[in-house]
């Protein structure tokens, strides 16, 4: 069965970077992409961007441009999210999700369990 398993919770200081991993299994990794979505405490869902596991192409939400890097490792079927220059308002649960489709008409059909990133001095 399709599974996405994320790395554990992180506590970071303002200005630091965080890298969240997402281990996938149960499907052909390079046939899909991986989207990243975050959710601040008590708030709604915010899509951050996605990466094609087929060719590594990325599409980042503009508000994260310059601070975010999404990568994949096709040898281990892993996806990674790096967010730099962390601020207190980056405190959130970060989810990876399997991205089915291209840039338009996609759906996020299976999700990881989430990784809590806390940014605090």
Partner 1 sequence: DIQMTQSPSSLSASVGDRVTITCRASQTISNYLNWYQQKPGKAPKLLIYAASILHSGVPSRFNGSGSGTDFTLTISRLQTEDFAIYYCQQTYSTLYTFGQGTRLDIK
Can you give the three-state secondary structure of the chain, one letter per residue? Answer: CCEEEECCCEEECCCCCEEEEEEEECCCHHHCEEEEEEECCCCCCEEEEEEECCCCCEEECHHHCCCEEEEEECCCCEEEEEECCCCHHHCEEEEEEEEECCCCCCEEEEECCCEEEEECC
Burial environment of residue 28 by CB neighbours within 10 A (0 to 12, 13 to 18, 19 or more)? exposed
Contact with partner 1 (CB under 8 A): which of 13, 44, 89, 121?
Answer: 44
59 binds partner 1 (CB under 8 A): yes
Please report whether residue 29 would count as binding partner 1 according to CB under 8 A: no
Q: Between 16 and 61, whose beta carbon lies closer to partner 1? A: 61
7 or 35, CB closer to partner 1? 35
Q: Residue 45 interacts with partner 1 (CB under 8 A)?
A: yes
Q: Which range of residues in 15-23, 56-64, 68-76, 82-90 is near partner 1 by CB under 8 A?
A: 56-64
Interface with partner 1 includes 85 (CB under 8 A)? Answer: no
Of residues 5 and 16, the one with the C-beta less far from partner 1: 5
Q: Report the interface residues with partner 1, using CB under 8 A.
A: 35, 37, 44-47, 59, 61-62, 95, 97, 100-101, 103-114
């Amino acid at each position: 069965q399709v599974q996405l398993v994320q790395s554990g919770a992180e506590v970071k200081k303002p200005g630091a970077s965080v890298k969240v991993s997402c281990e996938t299994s149960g499907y052909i990794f390079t046939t899909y992409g991986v989207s990243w979505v975050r959710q601040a405490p008590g708030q709604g869902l915010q899509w951050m961007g996605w990466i094609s596991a087929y060719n590594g192409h990325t599409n980042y939400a503009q508000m994260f441009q310059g601070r975010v890097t999404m990568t994949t490792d096709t040898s281990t079927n892993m996806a990674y999210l790096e967010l730099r220059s962390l601020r207190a308002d980056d405190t959130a649960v970060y989810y990876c999700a399997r991205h089915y489709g291209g840039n338009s008409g996609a759906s996020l059909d299976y999700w990881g369990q989430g990784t809590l990133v806390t940014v605090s001095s």
